[in-house]
Amino acid sequence: MTDPSVDDLERVADALRVPRNALLGKLSSNYPHVDSYPEYTKIFAWYLNTKGSGKDLTSDMGPVIVFTNGYSVVSMSQTWTETSQAISRGYESPRYSQISHTARVAYLALDHVFESYEYFVDSFESQAEKLEDQNPPWPRVAYMEAFIIQRESSSLLRQLRHLKRLAEALTDDHTELGINEIEKRLFDLIKERATGAEEMTEITHETMQGLIGMHMDTLSHDMNKTMRLIAALTVIIGCHL
């Protein structure tokens, strides 16, 4: 289901017998997570807009929701995320021939979501490397770029940590997904990728903190030299008056 209206969401909630706030609540305050209801498990994650500027990830993302009871599955997303297309493309792949219909849809949706996270992990790392190659002092625009990368990598870290917990939750025995060992290994791959992405993003975040501190220290040092020079000139001029 793509671009569902409020009425569509209400009908889905009624049909699945889940609380309406599971679909109609304030989604923007949610992180990726798994919720278990009496008959269904809900998987919730954010798809990050890889075609955006990357300067404000949290305001440029779309919800991806999957409901399953282990026998049937419903996915909901916005058209621009291309989640439905990703599920359709991968669904008939021989790679997934040994996993159930429900696990296949859930995995393909999460795999597509995670690709958007990996895009920004790589993008921020690349931008950080370029800034790292610039000798101090930075031009003003470089400081702006550095602060944006630091802020957005912090936001990305929070999303990644929750996505990793989501993948962990799917492999336990407390959901309605009912996955087997082969399917568990598939979801473990999501967890491993999230762990690797988290580590890379932490390095990028720490690198930006260090670079900003170093360049600020350089500016402070240069300013002190300038102030000492001004003070010396003032003394010299004063002596000749």
Q: What is the per-residue DSSP string for 37-102?
A: -SS-EEEEEEEE-TTS-SS-GGGSEEEEEEEE-SS-EEEEB-GGGTHHHHHHHHHT-GGGTTS-HH
pLDDT at 239: 56
Is residue 149 scored above 50 in pLDDT?
A: yes
Q: Rounded mean pLDDT of the chain? A: 82
- Which pLDDT does position 221 carry in this prediction? 43
pTM for the full model? 0.82
Per-residue pLDDT at 98 exceeds 50: yes
Calculate mean pLDDT across residues 28-37: 81
**Tens digit of each residue's pLDDT (9 = 90 or more) over 190-234:** 999 999 999 999 999 888 887 777 655 555 545 555 555 454 445
Span 30-45, mean pLDDT? Answer: 87
Residue 56's pLDDT is 81
Q: Where in the chain are the domains? A: 6-115+137-229
Question: 61-68 and 73-76 as β-strands: parallel, antiparallel, unpaired?
Answer: antiparallel
Question: Phi and psi of 94, rounded to 5°?
Answer: -60, -25
